[in-house]
Structure 1
């Protein structure tokens, strides 16, 4: 590309980094990486009433966890107020903006009359300066807003890189307020100045911003600024086909970390939400960057599928080294006040279970009983720890004292004990699992014994 690629992620810090925002950040980051460009992080914090430092930190934490590293920023709009005011002053001087003294209650009267006539409610341009037009007398003691002088004729058009050609008649757009009566600039204006100053080449964002785009393009043109290319991503629907929201589960991407999802799985899953590369389902972050383009983003809504995410996560857990998984599981167990010190080797225990789980929480649940004794439920004990089962376990325990402690020898000893007592393997193996770990199902019992270790096994059988 001849123009250097510069993308941005510009969240409002009024909440967590949610799935939709994370996907926008991922696509913007990947596009910059794919083209050797720059990825800018901008915090749009002009909504002072709703923006909080905690939300800013939550966004940065989410980006950091997903490893979506920015090259510039974070820039904060509240720290750029002087720049916005400077540009507004220049626009007033150039005649591309003007002061408007219409009060909110007057505006409501105007709009009510327009609705009554079946017209679209909008500002009627009464303070807009035009050649030969006599403006009302400036009221005393009132601070004006500043409005952008939107073109009255023609259309504003752009070729959206996801949605295709879009054009809006300028007659549909009224003169947007770009500064409030107290002097603070408005969202649409700040975005324009930021994109201009930061030389953003591609604006990749959610399609809830499509309606802002024509206004922003007109302001950029009035400033003599180059207009970036726009790509508006479709919304994400929940499993039930309605717009993704808090009730669908995770509010923040960090909740996926808490729920035991690997960032690699989340990145892979987000990449496939509305974008595809042939039939590829599983690919690394590096592969995604190499393949990513805007041509294969679907303009239709993407549907979030929790089961698919779990399937991907299970795949990535299987591919991850047990030592890496063990480091994560140790933290999760520590949060439950379960120490792995003095217990069996955690990586070896994890290796037994990593192909049996779909989240790291399930993995921690599965291995916890190797480090703290878990009593079986009354139901399991009544079903499996019968008098005959307990005497069989006592015989096995006496033989376990001297056996060589490896899978082959342990397997042989269990079979030998079954043969001696006329039992089938499950008649001894299931009571043994229940006694040792408090559950009826585990990986291969000889592998369980080997990892638990002789002393622990004998102590629990006593």
Structure 2
């Protein structure tokens, strides 16, 4: 019996090894994050390896996208990124060594479906067990009878396959812990046999639970966007996304919000669940909103520019209504309390900057026969102020209401609609200060021209 359990006393070295046959997906980012956090918590080294041996499907654009995604979330390999396509000579050396020892062999082409000989690993003649202690799932045992016979390690042209190159790379990179998705559990016994055949140290294994859809099935695009670039473009902040992903299958008490330093301090494979984690878009949106509200207006403007809309500031300073940098910041501060993504924040701020395309207000709740005169009276009082502040605007609005013996909403609601074209908005006092006297007058007159 081959048994692997608790044998590592070597330096902690982990890796994430995506295939550039598509964009980095959300599950892959979580695996990378767990590897990175484990390395940070253990004082180890995190590495990135690009498994690009599938020459037909691997594309440079996907490699670039993967690297860009990791730069965005600040999960960076601590050594130069390894590329499998640059290591074919190394793989051939290992293959030749195993061929010479008889541990792998060229098959008889008659036995192959396509009639072409391949290189197969020679399983032990006698049935045996292969056991390892998974750091998440506990002891796992396979019989060699379960492996489907001598398995292929290289194609007819000598191109090595996944299980073989993964073992060679992890050996050469001195990987101490292989932390990956639980869908790789069936690969583990074959890889352990390959480590043994090469006389290499076998790493510890930890297989993470998968991310599941709302109904408990494998996550699909119907349930959530699956690529990291989609979340970036949709206006999710990198720290919020990582915070959400670390809580998918891992917990530290009841704490939900973690700084990066807290993640590094508290993360442990001991607290990773064995069962799959349900993806909840509503919770991700909530968490992203928390992170947005913690950010300064300047930081949010930069993130909108970089992630969502490179012309955001240009749009806010376009004629005929040119906002100052202070007005942009003021608008971001007002609306960040009401959004879950940077896209929503961008849209609300741009909408406020633009003169609303107004329809006649719906019903007397927003507009009645006296509304035009009340707004005119409000403008008259507003023009007498030496300085527009939230306090002075509030006093003017309330004084007009007292003068006309009306409840505050009777004036505040049509004013809000005139300024924003919406029935809900941030503080109407703050909006008046932000827009300024001239723009407030223009928008009120615009609404009155439509209604009256």
Contact 2:176 2:204 (C-alpha < 8 Å) held by counterparts: yes
Superposed counterparts of 1:237-386, under 5 Å? 237-329=212-304, 332=308, 334-335=310-311, 339-341=315-317, 342-344=322-324, 345-378=327-360, 380=362, 384-386=366-368
d(CA) in 2 for partners of 1:275 and 1:408? 47
Is the deviation greater in 80-89 or in 43-52?
A: 43-52
Task: Assess if the C-alpha contact under 8 Å between 1:333 and 1:368 holds in 2.
Answer: no
Q: CA deviation at 1:155?
A: 1.2
* Residue 416 (structure 2) aligned to one of 425, 433, 445: 433
Superposed structure 1 runs of 4+ greater than 6 Å apart: none
**C-alpha RMSD of the superposition:** 2.0
- The answer to whether the 8 Å contact 1:220/1:227 transfers is yes
Query: CA distance change for structure 1 residues 70 and 380 in 2, over 3 Å: closer, same or farther?
Result: farther
CA contact (8 A) 1:262 1:313 kept: yes
CA distance in 1, matches of 2:413, 2:351: 16
Secondary structure of residue in 2 paired with 1:369: helix
Number of residue equivalences? 428
Within the alignment, does 1:394 sit opposite 2:390 as a pair? no
Shift of 1:172: 2.6
Change (3 A) 1:377 1:58: farther
- Per-residue Cα deviation, 1:332-384 (whole angstroms, up to 9, x for no partner): 45557962223152111111122222222222222223321122244548863
Preserved contact between residue 98 and residue 146 of structure 1 (Cα < 8 Å) = yes
Residues 381-421 of structure 1, C-alpha deviations (whole Å, 9 max, x = no match): 88634442122112211222221311111111111111222
Tell me, yes or no, if the aligned pair for 1:381 and 1:434 is still in contact at 8 Å. Answer: no
Q: Report the equivalent of 2:135.
A: 161
Q: TM-score, normalised by structure 2?
A: 0.90
Equivalent residue for 2:209, pick from 222, 234, 238: 234
State whether residues 6 and 199 of structure 1, in contact with CA within 8 Å, keep that contact through their aligned partners in structure 2.
Answer: yes
| Residue in structure 2 matching 1:102, options 93, 98, 109 | 109
Alignment-derived partner of residue 120 in structure 1: none
Please say which of residues 89-98 and 145-154 is displaced more in the overlay.
145-154
Contact residue 45 and residue 77 of structure 1 kept, 8 A: yes
In structure 1, how many angstroms separate the alpha carbons of the residues matched to 2:309 and 2:184?
43
Which residue of structure 2 lines up, in the alignment, with residue 60 of structure 1? 67
Does the CA contact (< 8 Å) of 1:13 and 1:59 recur in 2?
Answer: yes
Q: 1:175 aligns with which of 134, 137, 150?
A: 150
Q: Is the 8 A contact 1:152 1:171 kept in 2?
A: no
Match of 2:32 in 1: 25
TM-score by length of 1: 0.88
Q: How far, CA to CA, are the matches of 1:334 and 1:453 in structure 2?
A: 26
Partner of 1:460: 443
Distance in 2 (alpha carbons) for counterparts of 1:6 and 1:380: 64
Structure 2 unaligned residues grouped into runs of 5+: 1-7, 446-452
Measured after TM superposition, the shift of residue 74 of structure 1 is: 1.8
Unaligned runs of 5+ residues in structure 1 are 110-141
**Which residue of the partner structure matches residue 116 of structure 1?**
none
